């Protein structure tokens, strides 16, 4: 697997991350856990979806034991967040075969935005948490989605739809794996650097719907006059009232500042966007 990265340095994976194990064995175990049991995504519940935008959502597994969400933007190109695909590990895409069994697709190249800063992301501060994966072969049976930008200015209360394959019960990996979607609204001071989303019912002060483990890298959509557009990526989450966990805020990296880099990188791989 080749990495493409600019001059900015990224922090290595935290020392608390699991030790590296053979990729094939680990990925098969993760895939089996995610796909062989009744599965959900988006903590607090979300609408299960197999068609529409969900057809572009994929699962990314890493040799250090992590799993994340990605979005197919071209038959051989997956968009996700940089913190999910750091150097020092191998990554594969999990796909269901015709018989429903998990299949593992190889990643040829990982491109991380050169301005990404791991410390900023871990502190819930704005950074270029954006990456692209180039697959060895096209991903069949899936749809691609167009890349856009949030409507400017972004208003408090603006509605966005998130999608992910993460857990619905924090700490229970078996509760993740299937694509779910949820409608959230912007809160705080949304802008081109970062958007914070919240469940409109709970407003982040008690447990509600939001992103959780495994949803990182998931797409954030906005309805526009010419259709639904992918306008951001899920980067982080909190529990209610800013506590650690899930079900409070969902932190989003908008694609406003990074769309050109995404398009240029994908096109350099021969992708027609």
Local confidence band at 189 (pLDDT 50, 70, 90 cut-offs): very high
Highest mean pLDDT among 37-46, 110-119, 204-213: 110-119
> Can you name the residues that pair with 132 across neighbouring β-strands?
79, 111
* Topology classification of domain 22-37+55-144+258-268: Thrombin, subunit H (2.40.10)
> Can you name the residues that pair with 160 across neighbouring β-strands?
184
- Pairing, β 2-5 against β 102-112: parallel
Stated pTM of the model: 0.85
* pLDDT tens, residue by residue, 221-232: 999 988 899 999
First-to-final CA distance of the chain = 23
Domain boundaries, the chain: 22-37+55-144+258-268, 159-254
pLDDT at 117: 96
* pLDDT tens, residue by residue, 85-111: 999 999 999 976 556 677 899 999 999
Phi, psi of 122 (to 5 degrees): -65, -20
- Is CATH 2.40.10.10 correct for 159-254? yes
The answer to whether the beta carbons of residues 168 and 180 sit under 8 Å apart is: yes
Same fold yes or no, 22-37+55-144+258-268 and 159-254: yes
With 80 as the cut, is the pLDDT of residue 16 above it?
no
Local confidence band at 197 (pLDDT 50, 70, 90 cut-offs): very high
């Amino acid at each position: 697997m080749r990495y493409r990265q600019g001059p900015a340095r990224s922090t290595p994976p935290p020392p608390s991350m699991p030790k590296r194990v053979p990729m094939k064995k680990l990925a098969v175990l993760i895939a089996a856990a995610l796909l062989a049991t009744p599965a959900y995504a988006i903590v607090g519940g979300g609408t299960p979806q197999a068609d529409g935008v969900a057809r572009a959502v994929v699962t990314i597994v890493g040799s250090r034991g992590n799993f994340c969400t990605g979005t197919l933007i071209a038959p051989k190109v997956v968009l996700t967040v940089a913190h999910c695909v750091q150097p020092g590990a191998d990554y594969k895409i999990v796909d269901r075969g015709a018989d429903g069994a998990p299949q593992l697709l190889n990643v040829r190249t990982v491109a991380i935005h050169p301005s990404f800063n791991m410390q900023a992301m871990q502190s819930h501060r704005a950074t270029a948490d954006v990456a692209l994966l180039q697959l060895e072969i096209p991903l069949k049976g899936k749809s691609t989605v167009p890349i856009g930008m949030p409507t400017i200015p972004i208003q408090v209360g603006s509605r966005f739809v998130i999608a992910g394959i993460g857990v619905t019960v924090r700490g229970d990996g078996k509760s993740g794996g299937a694509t779910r979607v949820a409608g959230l609204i912007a809160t705080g001071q949304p802008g081109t650097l970062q958007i914070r989303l919240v469940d409109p019912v709970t407003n982040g002060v008690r447990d509600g719907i939001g992103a959780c483990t495994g949803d990182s890298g998931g797409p954030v959509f906005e309805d526009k006059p010419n259709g639904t557009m992918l306008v951001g990526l899920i980067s982080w989450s909190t529990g209610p009232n800013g506590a650690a966990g899930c079900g409070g805020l969902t932190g989003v990296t908008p694609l406003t500042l990074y769309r050109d880099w995404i398009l240029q990188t994908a096109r350099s791989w021969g992708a027609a966007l």
